[in-house]
Every structure is written in structure tokens, then in C-alpha cells.
């Protein structure tokens, strides 16, 4: 099993070793896994191109490490607990052996339906065990999974299916979330009607059993397709650098890009980081509340915990159904030991009152975690006091879809803790701050742009189908460095605090969104000439979406116009991208070269109109007053 650090002294020692000799350090971790063939070289890299290979020519299958290798020692231990949306419905558990058998059956089902190594399979599913099972089934036979969060619209789903030329889609009939039943299969039908010619088969998992239209020769029911499939399936031998999955994420420009992760390095890093950050101990019950549609779910619901032989939980529902005590009820019911959630959920629950957690026995909890966005001090303190009884360690984990695993975080109960600070980098992670010219800022008590200057095993390898974009977005800003897009502060003791994105990416309820994507959607409206979208501070969501819109004629009914714009964004991207505030303007502040001055728009949106700086050099300085006057409260 991968190394588990036990003290701050050990962390310091291991960190120093990992920087002095990264190859030796990672080889030591990697050796604890099952490889079909050993690697010939630990690392081969060049950031410029970028080209990054870990455990070169090593052969493995990640599911043999998640499942097979645990069968002897913990075949009867619970691997997965599933808590349904409706608390009156029975929960389900799978032992490692049961999960292994289900994954093998699903892998045989995929093969029987024409899926081979290298084929792309798209998922559009709720948080049900079949999602985890089928994702692992893909990995078992070397098919590449591309999970799309089931809150995205048909348009967004179609874009992702086309970009990866997926051969199959796996979905459910309906998705139960809170009191709602959402017709998921219908969204898939709509997406496939938009020219997704690569899709040959749709496997539909019966979740709610409501009436669902099936297309002949294309759609099959999961329960029929899996019937009679064998409980064993030989895992396909993969190269360390073969693609494990694609996951789409938003950037500052253009459409979302498919971040590519590969088998070997991702396996080693997710397991190592899981065990160390959460200090998982044999027999613990670990719960991450994320959705598998995001990287957190991939790395820390499925892969990291299963690689480590943990008991991992999946929750189908939402934090407020049937009431705001649901999370705490689940912690009590399943005796959860490690609990990992997003600041936005903490803030939402905090706003609903301190009495909710008090109704439940939270004594099983040992570790609290947060991820996805900066956590404000008030939320951190509430989490510590009300959930952690003032004593439990909180790990604030900073990382990204592109990093594959947690990069900066405390190790629970080991590292020093400071509210709103993620803390120190994990072993093997060489972070640095640079200034706008790319010069490294040395010393403590400094602020700058957060970069990583040496490869780590689970890093992004490429953006699917467009390697140049990967180079340009992440590796071209600063020489020999991966640029994260975040700004950070390093305190006197070298601990890091993430300030937030410095590019045109906003983080709404922990969901990452490109402002350009939202603008493109708004601009689809026939009466819109131009728009600019920025983020602004929001009490619960962290950031809200503020849209400035220039119409082509006077808008008679602004409420109706706003409704139409929100409907378009929902259609193009999904409800998570709907603007919170829309302001109709006659122009946007621009530089003489025609660039929108987002800095000014951000300030106005955040209600900070005192420090706009010098606006006299703008092409249209007069517009600033108008925009300020009409700003939405």
C-alpha cells in the first residue's frame, strides 16, 4: 500500500525527498501497485510541447488495482455505499467482491455491444451505483469514459459527445433530485438529434421506471443488456500513458475542453493523495458529496478511495431534501468518518440554521474536507464549530480538473491549520508564485500567480483532439511552468491561500464556468448585439453571474427579455449557468483597441464603484456613468 505520512516531521522529510529526487519518490509509491509489466523509466517530460510521460512503458489495468487486488484481503468489506435521494428508500451496499462482479458483468455488456479499447463512452447519469460500475467497466476494457454532469443541457451534451466522437451513451431514464424527477433520457434524445453521428448505442438504466421512449436498434435497457453477462472479465492490458478518461471543463475562451488523464500516473497520485490528505484508516467510512460529473467525483469518490481499499459512499440527492438536516442524517446513519464537501454547500446549510446538525449524532466524524472554491472565514468557522465540534481537522484542498488530484492541502490532523488557507503542497508538488512577467517570486509573505514547476503523476496530458490548445492554455504563459489560472498568497510560514481565478473563468457554487461561454449563449438571442459576463461576490454561491447586455432596440418589457435570456442560457449550457443579474446597457466600456474593460465591469457588479481607476483613456468613458447608474443591486 502507498505510504501514509504520520507526522509533520515526516511530511517535511518526505516533501524534501520528493523534490530532491522525484523519480525515486514516485517509483517507491508506484511499486506498491499491481503492474503487469514494470516501467522502463519513471519520468520523461518536456513542458514546452508539453510532453509528459510517467512510468514509461509500464503496463497495468487500474481496475485490477481498484478491485482484483483487494479480493483476497477484503473481498467481504464494503466498497461502496449508495444512499438514495429518497431517504425512505433502502440504501445499497456492495462488497469489494460484489463490486468486482458487477464491474465485470458491465464490462462484458459493453463488449457485447461493440465497445473496444480506445472507444469513447459518454455518461449522462444521476449518482447511482450503476454509474460507478459502468465507469469502472470502461476502464476494465480500456474504453475511455467521458462523464458529463447530468445538469448540462442537450446542446452542451451534444458538443461533448461530438468532440470526443463517442460511440455509446449510457444514461438513466429519469434522475431523482430532491422532489423533482428529471427526464434524463429525453435530454440524450435531444442531444443525439443534433448530429451526434458517432453514437451507435444508448444504454438506458431504469432508475425511476417512468415511461420512456426507446429508439429501435439504438437504445437498449441496461437490465436487458446485462442479463446473463458473466461475472468475470479479464482486464485489458493498458499502457501507463493510455487514456483513462476525458473530462470537459471550462476555460477563458471558446468551448469547454476535454482534459485527458492517463492510467498509470493518475492511479498512483489519486491513491497517494487520498490516503494522506484524509488520513484514511482501514474500516473508515468516507463520504465525498461531489457529483461524479466533476473531477472530484472521479478522483475522490471512485478511483482514489477504491485504490486505497476504502469504503466510499455515493449520495444521489441534494443537501436540502427532505430537509436541511439530510447531510448530517446521512453522516449519523452510515457512521461517516471522513466528510468532504464544497464551501457552497456549507454556506447554504449554515444559512438555514445551526439547529440542523444539532439533531444528529456526528461523533463518528474524524476529518472534514472542502474543495472547489475559496472558503470564506465565516463558513470555515461554522464548519469547524458546528460540524467539527471545534476539534476536528479541516482540510481545504486546492486542485483542478487538470491536476487530477489534490495539490495543496493539509494532511488531516498533521499539518498546521489556518482558516481560508489550503496550506502546504503535497509531496511531489512543486508550486511557485510568479509575477506577470513570469519571474518567480521567492520568499514568504508574497502574492502572485500560482504555477507548478515540475510534473506530477496525475497532471493533464493533453486536451482531447487539440494538443496545441493544451500547450497554449497551460504551458505557454510562463516558460517551463504549468499555469493554474489562480492567484495565491504565501504567508510568512509558506502556507498558501488561494485567492481565486485571475482569468475569465468564474466559479459559481463550485462549478467552473467560462464567461465567454455564457456570453456566446446570450448572444444567440436575436435582439442582443453584444454582452459581457463577469462574476460578483455572492453570499451562498461564492460567485454569482452578472450579465451586461446591449440590445439592438429599446426593450419594452425587460422582465420578459431577461426571462428569454435565461432560457437561452439554460438551453445552451444548463441551469447552472443562468445569470443571477442582467443589466441592459447601451454600450460597454472599451479600450481604444476595442477590448471590453472587464475590470471595470467586475467592480461595478460587485458594488465597488469608488475605485474604478482612470477611465479617461477609454474609447467611451461616458458609458461608465450610465452602467454604474443602472447597476443591479
Instruction: Closer to ligand PRX by CB, 507 or 562: give it.
Output: 507
Instruction: Closer to ligand PRX by CB, 373 or 504: give it.
Output: 373
Q: Containing H/E element for 13? A: helix 8-20
Could you identify the residue written with the cell 460511440?
167
- Minimal distance, residue 294 CB to ligand PRX, in Å: 6
Q: Please tell me the distance from the alpha carbon of residue 155 to that of residue 196, in angstroms, as a whole number.
A: 11
Could you identify the residue written with the cell 510517467?
54
Instruction: Closer to ligand PRX by CB, 173 or 503: give it.
Output: 503
Instruction: Closer to ligand PRX by CB, 207 or 507: give it.
Output: 507
Instruction: Closer to ligand PRX by CB, 364 or 376: give it.
Output: 376
> How many Cα neighbours within 13 Å face the side chain of 252?
13
- Minimal distance, residue 523 CB to ligand PRX, in Å: 24
- Minimal distance, residue 510 CB to ligand PRX, in Å: 7
Find out whether 173 and 212 touch, Cβ atoms under 8 Å. Answer: yes
Instruction: Closer to ligand PRX by CB, 61 or 276: give it.
Output: 276
- Minimal distance, residue 398 CB to ligand PRX, in Å: 4
Instruction: Closer to ligand PRX by CB, 414 or 513: give it.
Output: 513
- Dump the DSSP string for 100-138: HHHHHHHHHHHHHTT--TT-EEEEE--S-HHHHHHHHHH
Instruction: Closer to ligand PRX by CB, 101 or 396: give it.
Output: 396
Instruction: Closer to ligand PRX by CB, 58 or 514: give it.
Output: 514
Instruction: Closer to ligand PRX by CB, 155 or 543: give it.
Output: 543
Angle among Cα 537, 538, 541 to the nearest 5 degrees reads: 125
DSSP letter at 532 equals E
Q: Which of 478, 68, 467, 82 is nearest to 306 (CA)?
A: 68
- Give the CA distances from residue 511 to residues 257, 293, 312, 460, 610, in Å, rounded to whole numbers and listed in that order: 15, 11, 23, 19, 30
- Minimal distance, residue 296 CB to ligand PRX, in Å: 5
Q: Which of 71, 94, 36 is nearest to 309 (CA)?
A: 71
- Minimal distance, residue 377 CB to ligand PRX, in Å: 13
Q: Which of 351, 385, 352, 348 is nearest to 368 (CA)?
A: 385
SS3 420: coil
C-alpha cell read off for 567: 432560457
- Dump the DSSP string for 297-342: HIIIIIIHHHHTT-EEEEE-S-TTSS-TTHHHHHHHHTT-SEEEE-
- Give the CA distances from residue 319 to residues 16, 204, 378, 596, in Å, rounded to whole numbers and listed in that order: 41, 26, 19, 39
Helices (H), 529-633: 558-572, 598-605, 622-630
- Minimal distance, residue 500 CB to ligand PRX, in Å: 6
Residues that bind ligand PRX (CB under 6 A): 249, 294-296, 371-374, 396-401, 422, 484-486, 498, 500-501, 507, 512
Instruction: Closer to ligand PRX by CB, 236 or 270: give it.
Output: 270
Instruction: Closer to ligand PRX by CB, 167 or 512: give it.
Output: 512
SS3 477: coil
- Minimal distance, residue 501 CB to ligand PRX, in Å: 5
Q: Which of 95, 25, 37 is nearest to 61 (CA)?
A: 37
What residues have CB less than 8 Å from 474, skipping those under 6 apart? 50, 402, 460, 482, 483
Amino acid at each position: 500500500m502507498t505510504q501514509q505520512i504520520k507526522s509533520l516531521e515526516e511530511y517535511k522529510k518526505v516533501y524534501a525527498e520528493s523534490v530532491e529526487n522525484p523519480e525515486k519518490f514516485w517509483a517507491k509509491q508506484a511499486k506498491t501497485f499491481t503492474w503487469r509489466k514494470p516501467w522502463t523509466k519513471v519520468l520523461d517530460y518536456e513542458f514546452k510541447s508539453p510532453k509528459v510521460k510517467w512510468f514509461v512503458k509500464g503496463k497495468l489495468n487500474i481496475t485490477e488495482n481498484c478491485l482484483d487486488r483487494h479480493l483476497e484481503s477484503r473481498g467481504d468489506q464494503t466498497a461502496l455505499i449508495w444512499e438514495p435521494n429518497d431517504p425512505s428508500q433502502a440504501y445499497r451496499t456492495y462488497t469489494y467482491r460484489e463490486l468486482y462482479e458487477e464491474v465485470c458483468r458491465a464490462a462484458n455488456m459493453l463488449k457485447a455491444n461493440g465497445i473496444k479499447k480506445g472507444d469513447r463512452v459518454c455518461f449522462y447519469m444521476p449518482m447511482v451505483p450503476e454509474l460507478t460500475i459502468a465507469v469502472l467497466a470502461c476502464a476494465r476494457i480500456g474504453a475511455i469514459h467521458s462523464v458529463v454532469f447530468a445538469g448540462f443541457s442537450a446542446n452542451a451534451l451534444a458538443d461533448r459527445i461530438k468532440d470526443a466522437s463517442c460511440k455509446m451513451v449510457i444514461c438513466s431514464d429519469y434522475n431523482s433530485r430532491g422532489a423533482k424527477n428529471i427526464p434524463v433520457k429525453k435530454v440524450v434524445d435531444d442531444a443525439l438529434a443534433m448530429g451526434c453521428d458517432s453514437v451507435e448505442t444508448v444504454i438506458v438504466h431504469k432508475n425511476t421506471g417512468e415511461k420512456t421512449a426507446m429508439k429501435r436498434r439504438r437504445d437498449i435497457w441496461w437490465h436487458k443488456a446485462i442479463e446473463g453477462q458473466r461475472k468475470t472479465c479479464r482486464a485489458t492490458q493498458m499502457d501507463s500513458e493510455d487514456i483513462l478518461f476525458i473530462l470537459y471543463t471550462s476555460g477563458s475562451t471558446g468551448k469547454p475542453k476535454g482534459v485527458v488523464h492517463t492510467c498509470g500516473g493518475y492511479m498512483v497520485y489519486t491513491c497517494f493523495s487520498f490516503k494522506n490528505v484524509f488520513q484514511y484508516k482501514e474500516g473508515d467510512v468516507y463520504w465525498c458529496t461531489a457529483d461524479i460529473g466533476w473531477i472530484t467525483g472521479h478522483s475522490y469518490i471512485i478511483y482514489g478511495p477504491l485504490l486505497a481499499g476504502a469504503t466510499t459512499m455515493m449520495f444521489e440527492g441534494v443537501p436540502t431534501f427532505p430537509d436541511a438536516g439530510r447531510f448530517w442524517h446521512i453522516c449519523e446513519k452510515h457512521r461517516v468518518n471522513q466528510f468532504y464537501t464544497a464551501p457552497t454547500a456549507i454556506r447554504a446549510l449554515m444559512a438555514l440554521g445551526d439547529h440542523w446538525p444539532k439533531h444528529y449524532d456526528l461523533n463518528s466524524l474524524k476529518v472534514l474536507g472542502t474543495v472547489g472554491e475559496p472558503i470564506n472565514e465565516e463558513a470555515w468557522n461554522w464548519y469547524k464549530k458546528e460540524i467539527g465540534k471545534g476539534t476536528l481537522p479541516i482540510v481545504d484542498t486546492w486542485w483542478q480538473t487538470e491536476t487530477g488530484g489534490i495539490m495543496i492541502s493539509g494532511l488531516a490532523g498533521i499539518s498546521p491549520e489556518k482558516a481560508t488557507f489550503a496550506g502546504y503542497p503535497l509531496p511531489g508538488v512543486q508550486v511557485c508564485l510568479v509575477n506577470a512577467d513570469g519571474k518567480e517570486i521567492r520568499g514568504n509573505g508574497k502574492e502572485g500567480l500560482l504555477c507548478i514547476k515540475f510534473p506530477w503523476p496525475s497532471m493533464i496530458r493533453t486536451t482531447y483532439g487539440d494538443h496545441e490548445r493544451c500547450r497554449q492554455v497551460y504551458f505557454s504563459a510562463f516558460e517551463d511552468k504549468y499555469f493554474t489560472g489562480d492567484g495565491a498568497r504565501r504567508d510568512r510560514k509558506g502556507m498558501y491561500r488561494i485567492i481565486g481565478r485571475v482569468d475569465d473563468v468564474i466559479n459559481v457554487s463550485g462549478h467552473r464556468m467560462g464567461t465567454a461561454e455564457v456570453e456566446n449563449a446570450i448572444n444567440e438571442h436575436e435582439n442582443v448585439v453584444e454582452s459581457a459576463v463577469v462574476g460578483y461576490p455572492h453570499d451562498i454561491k461564492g460567485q454569482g453571474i452578472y450579465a451586461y447586455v446591449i440590445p439592438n432596440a429599446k426593450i419594452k418589457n425587460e422582465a420578459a427579455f431577461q426571462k428569454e435570456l435565461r432560457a437561452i442560457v439554460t438551453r445552451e449550457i444548463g441551469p447552472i449557468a443562468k445569470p443571477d443579474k442582467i443589466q441592459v446597457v447601451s454600450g460597454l466600456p472599451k479600450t481604444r483597441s476595442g477590448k471590453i474593460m472587464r475590470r471595470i465591469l467586475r467592480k461595478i457588479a460587485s458594488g465597488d464603484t469608488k475605485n474604478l481607476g482612470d477611465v479617461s483613456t477609454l474609447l467611451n468613458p461616458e458609458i461608465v456613468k450610465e452602467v454604474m447608474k443602472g447597476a443591479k443591486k
